[in-house]
Amino acid sequence: MINIHPGWLLIAGALLLPLIGGKARNWFVIFLPAAALYIISQLQPGMSLQYHFFGYELTFLRVDRLSKIFGYIFTLNAFAAFIYAFYVKDSTQHMAALFYIGSALGSVFAGDLVSLYFHWEVMAIASTFLILSRRTKKAMGAGLRYILMHIFGGLCLLAGIVLYISKTGSIDFNAMTERTAATYLILVGILVNAAAPPLSAWLSDAYPEATVTGGVILSAYTTKTAVYTLIRGFPGWEILIVVGCIMTIYGIIYALLENDMRRILAYSIINQVGFMVTGVGIGTVMSLNGAAAHAFAHIIYKALLWMSAGSVLYMTGKSKCTELGGLYKTMPWTMIFGTIGALAISSFPGTSGFTTKTLIIESSVHQHLFWVWMVLEIASAGVFLHAGIKFPYFVFFAKDRGLRPGETNRSMLVAMAFMAFLCIFLGLFPGPLYDILPFEMEHYHAYSFAHVTTQLQLLMLSALVFFLFLPLLKRTDTIAIDTDWIYRRGGAFFYSVVDRVLNGFNEVVERLVVKGLVRSIVNFSQLAPALVLSALIYPYWVISGFDKKERAQRKEELYRDINTGAMSVGLISISVLLYLGILFIF
Amino acid sequence: MQGEKEKDYFERPGNIKKLWIALYVVCALTIVFELFIDRTPHFGIDRIFGFYALLGFVSCAILIIIAKVIGFILKKNEDYYD
């Protein structure tokens, strides 16, 4: 039995990367996931790579059907993504990608909560570099918000794990049955990575700012590692049905509002992961298999969609629907592959989406969950609307903006052709995928004349609505506010409120106390002796027969003398006498 | 360029109209096909003839309208956060 950890193989490869230069490096990073894929296929079920750690036994390699299916798709997608990235010369991107994919595999094969947490955090950090590598101001900001959100999720996860271990005394990671603060905290930590609203804005904020290949790679791992963890730890938690259903509709509405093509695709990840999360919540063998199968198919077609959007961005430097259009003329292959991805995500009969999503929807029917079934059917129609038609229509057709970029480079086309082939192959022959599903299930037939007909009804009428409502869908050069407003503008808003209240208070205090009260006290103490003296001496001047003018002059002299401290002896002695007199009288 | 001057398939007048007709025909066909299938309804509501066509049409229309309405509040200029 081979005992090599497939994830660590990629991480080891990342560490070797600086030693390899030129094109050899690009070949090397294609070879690594292929080798990891082979290793996974040879792994025997069981626990291995166990180490003692502060009295606990860590298991770094748990092999069973569930970890294997995710291992297969993670390495397969990495293989295609690195072919796509063959043109990339920047070794930081490749290193970050290998660390990211390696630690995602590490999370999937982790047999306990501690090693899961360790890989989980490495994944968050490594993925941030795929965003920062774009080296734009927007990417820097988005990368910072991305890592902050993941630190928050990681802390929830950590707090939950620590509570869980102290309560149960075990670090085993299996299906959680008890609903305690500990398990709910773990769940929240995972849902951050699954991009469940309102904790989802990091995805649509950061992924579209990533590099061309970074977007392709990011789209697969973080959210799908979360789906794996949910299948493993939280099968049948009803709350996930609610969360999943919200995600499906949320993704559609936002994708309809969006103008940036990669942001449309980012929102459709939330929509698609919603189907999987719902499947986990339903919790039957069929729905859990459906969640795993859908994750498998989704990674392929979603990577394909990101690849075609990436090619457009790479060739034109543009990603807004308001600036794109008419590209079918010069980028026909990118258009064809992108459209295959768009059909697959819409579960068009003959594509992989059709053979996998059906499992989840049908399991909701078997459990007689009417509303869940309704939402999933509505969301299926909506997918065709926002990703299936909107993406290819506005990017490749719609209004010709006069862009004539030419077809993208060959390695990108090869990778897209490979993924497009898989979309159709798994759509026509789902058998090999059904065979590796995690839980025993009797053979399933996705195709029946009735099912194909009803699915086509749903999709074609959605298409009709799209074109009938086209004026309402006209793209505007705008962004849509998501929950990231809370920490992007909310922070500034909070600042300005606090600024106004506290500084306003300061100002009032300054005006009243510092400038008003203190000043008048100062003035009073400066003038008091002169006032008292002049009041006391005034009758003397009157008696002495000074006229008004003389009295004013004397008064002025008196003030000046007091202010400069230059008073004649006589005056002082008079005033002393007067004081004494006053004291004597009272 | 020679190719630039010639109008593309999608730009030639009449072709858009043909595509519209094709779309209507395909939609109609999917509904006609329902006559030939033996569908087992799962819940009461999907017993209606053409249920999935109706669902697709109505739900997408509602989704678009919801997005449009929400858009008035949520849509901001590109430089909103700058």
Query: Largest Cα–Cα distance in chain A?
Result: 127
Reading phi first (left if > 0) and then psi (alpha if -120 to 50, else beta), residue A177 is in: alpha
Q: Give the whole-angstrom CA distance, residue A583 versus residue A576.
A: 10
Side chain identity at residue A344, one-letter code:
A
Alpha-helix residue ranges (DSSP H) falling in A169-317? 181-194, 201-206, 212-233, 239-257, 261-282, 285-316
Q: Give the whole-angstrom CA distance, residue A317 versus residue A285.
A: 45
Identify whether the C-beta of residue A324 lies closer than 8 Å to the C-beta of residue A318.
Answer: yes
Residues 6 or more apart from A421 whose CB is under 8 A from it?
A: none
The answer on pLDDT for B3 being more than 50 is no
Q: Give the whole-angstrom CA distance, residue A435 versus residue A305.
A: 26
**What DSSP designation does A53 have?**
E
Contact A464 B27 (CB under 8 A): yes
Tell me if residue A48 falls in helix, strand or coil.
strand
How far, in whole angstroms, is CA A571 from its chain's centroid? 83
How far, in whole angstroms, is CA A366 from its chain's centroid? 34
Residue A326: closest CA among chain B residues belongs to which residue? B10
Contact B75 A479 (CB under 8 A): yes
Q: Give the whole-angstrom CA distance, residue A418 versus residue A420.
A: 6
DSSP per-residue string spanning A136-192: SHHHHHHHHHHHHHHHHHHHHHHHHHHHHHHHHS--B-S-----SHHHHHHHHHHHH
Q: Give the whole-angstrom CA distance, residue A316 versus residue A405.
A: 6
* B28 interfacial to chain A (CB closer than 8 Å): no
Q: Give the whole-angstrom CA distance, residue A468 versus residue A379.
A: 19
Q: Give the whole-angstrom CA distance, residue A406 versus residue A424.
A: 26
DSSP per-residue string spanning A488-538: HTHHHHHHHHHHHHHHHHHHHHIIIIIIIIIHHHHHHHHHHHHHHHHHHHH
* Predicted pLDDT of residue B6: 58
Q: Give the whole-angstrom CA distance, residue A268 versus residue A276.
A: 13
The secondary element (H helix, E strand) that includes residue A386 is none
* Predicted pLDDT of residue B2: 42
Residue A487: closest CA among chain B residues belongs to which residue? B81
Alpha-helix residue ranges (DSSP H) falling in chain B? 2-5, 15-33, 51-74
Q: Give the whole-angstrom CA distance, residue A518 versus residue A512.
A: 9
Reading phi first (left if > 0) and then psi (alpha if -120 to 50, else beta), residue B37 is in: beta
Question: Strand pairing partners for A109?
Answer: none
Query: For residue B62, what are the CA distances in angstroms to A85, A251, A378, A379, B68?
Result: 40, 15, 10, 12, 10
Domain limits, chain B: 2-74
Average pLDDT for B14-40: 90
CA distance A262 to chain B (A): 15
Q: How many CB atoms lie within 10 A of CB A4?
A: 16
Identify whether the C-beta of residue B51 lies closer than 8 Å to the C-beta of residue B45.
Answer: yes
Q: Give the whole-angstrom CA distance, residue A211 versus residue A214.
A: 5
Considering CB atoms only, which of A377, A467, A469 is closest to B55? A377
The answer on pLDDT for B4 being more than 60 is no
Q: Give the whole-angstrom CA distance, residue A369 versus residue A366.
A: 8
Query: Largest Cα–Cα distance in chain B?
Result: 61
Contact B52 A466 (CB under 8 A): no
The string of pLDDT tens digits covering residues A69-111 is: 999 999 999 999 999 999 988 888 999 999 999 999 999 999 9
Which residue in the block uniquely carries the two structure tokens 């929807």? A361
Contact B76 A454 (CB under 8 A): no
Contact B63 A382 (CB under 8 A): yes
Q: How many CB atoms lie within 10 A of CB A415?
A: 26
Residues 6 or more apart from B5 whose CB is under 8 A from it?
A: none
Q: Give the whole-angstrom CA distance, residue A314 versus residue A405.
A: 10
Considering CB atoms only, which of A257, A458, A473 is closest to B55? A458
HSE of A228, CA atoms in CB hemisphere, 13 A: 31
Tell me if residue A480 falls in helix, strand or coil.
strand
Residue B77: closest CA among chain A residues belongs to which residue? A478
Residues 6 or more apart from A265 whose CB is under 8 A from it?
A: A207, A208, A219, A302, A305, A306, A309, A387, A391
**Measured in Å, how far apart are chain A's first and last C-alpha atoms?**
113
Q: Give the whole-angstrom CA distance, residue A94 versus residue A366.
A: 45
Query: Which regions of chain A are under pLDDT 70?
Result: 1-2, 566-568
- For chain A positions 319-358, those within 8 Å of chain B (CB to CB) are 328-329
Contact A457 B61 (CB under 8 A): no
Residues 6 or more apart from A439 whose CB is under 8 A from it?
A: A65, A66, A285, A288, A289
Identify whether the C-beta of residue A150 lies closer than 8 Å to the C-beta of residue A192.
Answer: yes
Identify whether the C-beta of residue B38 lies closer than 8 Å to the C-beta of residue A225.
Answer: no
Token pair in block for residue A344: 């697959």
- For chain B positions 38-67, those within 8 Å of chain A (CB to CB) are 38-40, 42-43, 50-57, 59-61, 63-67
Q: Give the whole-angstrom CA distance, residue A337 versus residue A349.
A: 17
Q: Helix axis angle, A22-42 relative to A6-16, nearest 10°?
A: 170
